Amino acid sequence: MIMEQNRRFADMLETLKKKGVVRNQQQFVEMVGVDKSLVSNVKNEKVPLSDDLLQKVEKAFPMVSIDWIKSGEGPMILPEDHFSFGGSSEKMVSLPLLPVDVMAGLPSEDIAGVDFSTCDKYLIPDIQAAGAQYMVRVTGDSMIPTYKEGDILACRFVEDVQFWQPGRVYVLDTNQGPLVKMVFECEDEDHLICHSFNTERFKDFRIPKTAIRSVSIVVGVVSIRTE
């Protein structure tokens, strides 16, 4: 029974890759927030599949049926109207687009206290399948060519930042407003280094950890090009 769960877990991971939800196992590991050796050991039936890992998978990939992994009953991938987030039994809801822009350069308006229920909402199943919880629009040019002005970033809250994933972009809600940056650890444990992609115009800078009120990781982007 235990090994059957491990095999279904491996089948689920391959399905997510085939559907393009994740590029590879490394991205799956990063989105779930576990050590890569744990996923490999579960796939290879070296360790049993734990409830803790299943809970993390359910949070990161709400379209995956945890009941199917446990018992083999029902579909592996839930119908779109049954997606759930954070263990909720509610049907999948549209993503709110925050009514303030992320300034991809200097800080802009404060996003603290935004009421998501009043925001415009959009249903984008592929992005929601990656665990996105809200969206913000980029202004400024510090993150070009990857993110251009007008792009919409799909973000997922990180409740407990135990480490900063190399090469990943974060949205930081700071006491001077929201920022979108690649973030690196600093020798000074009280600060982080914020990196812009447009290095010709924007230099790296340090930000105190105490200035950061919430952290989200960018899990997708919607680009609209009219030219």
Q: Domain coordinates of the chain in residue numbers? A: 2-81, 95-222
Q: If you average pLDDT over each of 17-31, 37-51, 91-105, 211-225, which comes out highest?
A: 37-51
Rounded to whole angstroms, the Cα distance separating 125 from 12 reads 18
Task: Note the pLDDT tens digit of each residue in 179-213.
Answer: 999 999 988 889 999 999 999 999 999 999 999 98
Q: Which CATH architecture has domain 95-222?
A: Ribbon (2.10)
Give the integer Cα–Cα distance in Å for 80 and 41: 30
pLDDT on residue 223 = 83
**Of the segments 84-88, 94-98, 171-175, 204-208, which one has the largest average pLDDT value?**
204-208
Domains 2-81 and 95-222 are alike in CATH topology: no
CA–CA separation, 73 and 3 (whole Å): 16
2-81 under CATH 3.30.230.30, yes or no: no
Contact 136, 100 (CB under 8 A): yes
| For residue 158, pLDDT beyond 80 | yes
How much is the average pLDDT of 81-99?
55
Mean pLDDT of the chain: 82
